[in-house]
Structure 1
Amino acid sequence: MITEQFDYPALYETAGKMSTDSQRLFLWLVRGEYALLFMAAVLSMNFYATSHYFIIPAVILIASLVILIFRSLQKPEQDWYRGRALAESIKTSCWKYCMRSEPFGDNDSVATRHAEFRTYLTEILRANRLIGDRLPADNAAEEQITTSMEAVRALPLEERKKYYDKNRVRNQRTWYAKKASGNKKSSRNWMIASIAFYGIAIVLSLVRITDPGFAYWPVEPVIVVASSILGWVQIKKFNELASSYTLTAHEIGIIQGRIADISSEDEFSKFVLDAEQAFSREHTQWVARQQHT
């Protein structure tokens, strides 16, 4: 059994890095907008009744608008989705290659199968040519067909079955199950926080009735926080992901039970195709998001 670390093609690492960096940029821009809106709401509470004072919240709102315009022009969320879609396409192709599944069958010619895999990567890259100029160059000089990929592909059928079961099927099932649980928990926690802040805003609004002359009731800042939480929940899509990941985890569990009955290369090739189709649920989700952004 192969014990060394499994290395994916350089293009996978590059696409993954682009997706991660774009996701981080997008989420920090959103956080920045929310933070500036909150600051503007706080500073609009008439702490100082001078014209110079109100220049501050105006400047903050302008800064928030600049971030919004920058985010709209750069569209980092699209690079996030496209990078993830590209990475997942390469990852599933890599496992098909290592398991000798279609379209990378049991070809004894190293040169031929290398050419087939490189051609496949080229086609994937061409299909994602819109992000070619945004891919980081960090891993561009690394191997596209790694030593560990060839080592796994060289394993006999039974050992490949065990390797695929442990390092791909079980790994993916665990990943989807944890992500489903995490998103469900996050959805519940953020919704509770939103309800709490809306409740605080309602209470403050009612209490303000008793003393309308007091200028420092923080109703508006609390409403901004509550609204920001709802916006964050919509951006992160906790409920949608929890449902999708749960279904995928169960589907993988059903598929996993078939591997013990496989006794031929053809059966294993069909099994890998079915399994990778299930794993690509996340990939197709990224593609769907890309089409709607």
Structure 2
Amino acid sequence: MPFDFPAIYKLAGDLAASSQSRYFRLLKAEYGLLITASVLSLGFSTSKVYFLFSVLVFFLSLACMLFRMWDKPEQDWYKGRALAESVKTSCWRYCMRAEPFFHSSDISIPREGFREHLLGIFRSNRNIGHKFSPSIGVDHAATGSMDSVRLSDLHARKNYYLKLRIEDQEEWYLRKAKHNRRASFAWGVIGASVYALAIILSMFKLAFYENFFYPMPVLVALATSIVGWAQIKKFNELASSYTLTAYEIGLIKNKINEVESEESFSDFVNESEQAFSREHTQWVARQFS
């Protein structure tokens, strides 16, 4: 198990996770209501209750859209993840004695530097500061387990970083790349099936024009929702990005055998952390594109 992270890391991660969940729940509700509205538009009844229900569905769809635009949960998701990743990479640098928290005979010096660094990160993300409790304990930013890892010898820290950071991240990116490739294929098949069904039903409509039920509004809503969902999730882009990042991590991992001093290990850790930060920066850019 890795060391215990400062409280701000968990708070930022929880904010990102809850905001992401809320964002996708709202989108699912919008798409679900859109499809429901398309079904109701087929006119299965002429009663007032039926039309009132149709109006209610459209009203709920509008309410979901307006609430999502006002609440902007995706913004808290991106900012929360950015803060969590910044704290995480700083913690690993501190524990591995990498710059700017290099080796010192007095641990209070890098510990104070880490605390100030963490405060700087928090201040640069003050636009989401109101989401957190004021008692997050930045005065004791470096946890006891972090100090224990930092005080271990070079060989122990090399193995620790290799197993719990490098290889863990490599496995995570490979797993996510595989998941996104599968999801991309699955949603592609679903989308193609809807289009194929629309073509088949159109042909039947041409052949049996008068007596054939043709749910075109429903098919259009389904196709639109599928395309929109696939674009929002960016399955293909993420699969490619995660695969490349995993490959880059694999190349970096091999360099650890060349590390023989504190200085070279510091350089190695910073190179690795920059690779992780670069992927995250690209991820944020894709979300805003």
* Alignment match, 1:123: 120
Letter in 1 for 2:128: I
Distance (whole Å) between structure 2 residues aligned to residue 282 and residue 83 of structure 1 = 16
Question: Is residue 41–residue 221 contact of structure 1 (8 Å, CA) maintained in 2?
Answer: yes
Q: Report the counterpart of residue 136 of structure 2 in structure 1.
A: 140
Residue 97 (str. 1) matches residue 100 (str. 2): no
Q: 1:14 to 1:286 in 2, by over 3 A?
A: farther
Aligned match for 2:155, one of 153, 158, 167: 158
The one-character-per-residue Cα deviations of 1:138-173 (angstroms, maximum 9, x if unpaired) are 983595311211111011001100110011000011
Is the CA contact (8 Å cut-off) linking 2:205 and 2:212 kept in structure 1?
no
- The TM-score normalised by the length of structure 2 is 0.94
1:269 lines up with 2:266 in the alignment: yes
Structure 2, unpaired ranges of 5+: none
Please report how far the alpha carbon of residue 129 of structure 1 lies from its aligned counterpart in structure 2 after TM superposition. 1.1
> Once superposed, what is the RMSD of the aligned Cα atoms?
1.9
Instruction: Kindly report which structure 2 residues correspond to 1:180-219, keeping only aligned pairs within 5 A, or say none.
Output: 180-214=177-211, 216-219=213-216
Distance 1:244 1:275 in 2: 16
Indicate the SS of the match to 1:283: helix
1:250 equivalent to 2:230? Answer no
Q: What secondary structure, in the 3-state scheme, does the structure 1 residue paired with 2:162 have?
A: helix
Amino acid across the alignment from 2:19? S
Partner of 1:258: helix, strand, or coil? helix
Q: Which residue of 2 aligns with 1:228?
A: 225
Structure with greater contact order relative to length (CA < 8 Å, sep ≥ 6): 1
User: Where does 1:52-71 land on structure 2 (aligned, <5 Å)?
Assistant: 52-71=49-68
Deviation per CA, 1:117-143: give whole Å up to 9, x if none: 1111111111111111123x3983595
Percent of aligned pairs with the same amino acid: 46
Change (3 A) 1:74 1:45: same
1:260 and 2:280 aligned: no
Of residues 231-240 and 43-52 in structure 1, the stretch that sits farther from structure 2 once superposed is 43-52
Q: 1:286 to 1:83 in 2, by over 3 A?
A: farther
| Normalised TM-score (structure 1) | 0.93
Do residues 281 (structure 1) and 278 (structure 2) align?
yes
Question: How far apart, in 1, do the equivalents of 2:68 and 2:60 lie?
Answer: 12
Structure 1 spans left out of the alignment, 5+ residues: none
Query: 1:84 corresponds to which letter in structure 2?
Result: R
SS of the residue 2:99 aligns to: coil
1:127 & 1:69 partners in 2: Cα distance?
A: 29
Preserved contact between residue 37 and residue 54 of structure 2 (Cα < 8 Å): yes
For 2:262 and 2:108, locate their aligned partners in 1 and report how far apart those are by CA, in whole Å: 21
